[in-house]
Structure 1
Amino acid sequence: MYNTISISTDARGVATLTLDRAEKHNAMSAEMMRELTEAAKALGTDNKVRVVVLTGAGKSFCAGGDLGWMKEQMAADPETRFVEARKLAEMLQALNTLPKPLIGRLQGNAFGGGVGMASVCDVAIGVESLTMGLTETKLGLIPATIGPYVLSRMGEAMARRVFMSARLFEAAEAVTLGLLAKAVPAEDLDAAVEAEVTPYLACAPEAVARAKALARRLGPRIDDAVIDHTISELVACWDGDEAKEGVGAFFEKRKAAWVQ
């Protein structure tokens, strides 16, 4: 059914949604974005599913946007760029509004859009060895479509520590920043995730869904106007000279003009 993700559901109704492009460090292609959006809708309407665990196959949780997809955007016209950016925005919002608890199981590194994926989880648990980073500005881009979810999770003050600098940070700092609820040794990851899952199995599913919707309603506003603004900001970056230089430098394996 899916090419870039997989879903398995146990007898309790705990569904595991796995990013399944291990050879690409689970970088998000256009196909993965579409499949994740479809999966979120399917899981959200499946009455047998009580909890969803989001994880990745292989060494990385998610390396962010697929570089091939990104390169295609650099060559596309503005209208196509807008359509492609909306695919990413709609995927994130579909996961963010999933009417089931979404538990992040970060078994490896998360960069760029991978940080956004962690941010749409209700709780994210990561291994102590992982590294995270919002690396977009190194490429002349910005963390635009993921921005509302990152800011919602971290708060502005914490986000400004890492939102613009593209610096990498370890799991312990991710906990301090609020991206991860906790960081655990790799051998304890499954037990830590299970500890987050189990309480929901004693809760009324509809009440959980309504409580989650209420929390979103009372939290920072992420509506169509906010999402459209983030899409416009990303497209504007793709149209700019810095993105051409930054993405070009990455593929040519050289330093961008601004690197000192």
Structure 2
Amino acid sequence: MTISTSPSDALEVITLSVEDGLAAEAGGATRLEVVRDIRADGLTPDVRVVEALLERVGIPLRVMIRPRNTFLVGDDTHRDEIADDAALFADLPVDVVTGYVRAAADGSAEIDEAALALVAERVPRARITVHRAIERISGDPTAALRRCPAVDRVLSGGGAGAWASRAGALVRLQAAIVPVRVIVGGGVSMEGIDVLAPCSSLRELHVGRLARTGESYGAPVDARIVATLRDRWLSRGR
């Protein structure tokens, strides 16, 4: 079956290696999220892996900037690590993925705009995806996102619960943050794809374990599985 895609349709696949990237591209992925340690929600990858992917694949890369397995910036040393990691990719033709939360004055959680600005400063040509930290904040993220013009994507799985309620949350988030785009991602299952795909405002899907043989973190990306995911996401309700 041939799928006719809109320029705004996307299938982003988490990539740990050149082999993952080649398989994802062969299966029809439109973008790669390059990380290290998928079990830790993705950490900053080795710059040599990113450089090798740029030489071997023809689809865009978004590179994780996350030196520690946490969504909280703990201290100035941690902040320096974030800045140093971001600077590694300043001269490469890639976009980036990051996102942290902090405690607000009233005790609620909000986007750490200082950490976001730090990454934008170190990689000034890159567009930014705000990672799943968005799910850990208490209020409306719209104003904070708009104060960082480099942000053009937000990755979210819509929180917890049944996929129908998560789909509703994602549609509402997308309506609130336009023109920033929602990337649907975070524990997405085949059932989730079937529920989410007909939502016309949700155009971008992000998969990690689901694109791997046996849905195992330890297995490589499988081009045939990626092709199945692409067809399922792009054909239902489009």
- Regarding TM over 0.5, the answer is no
TM-score by length of 2: 0.34
Q: Higher Cα Rg: structure 1 or 2?
A: 1
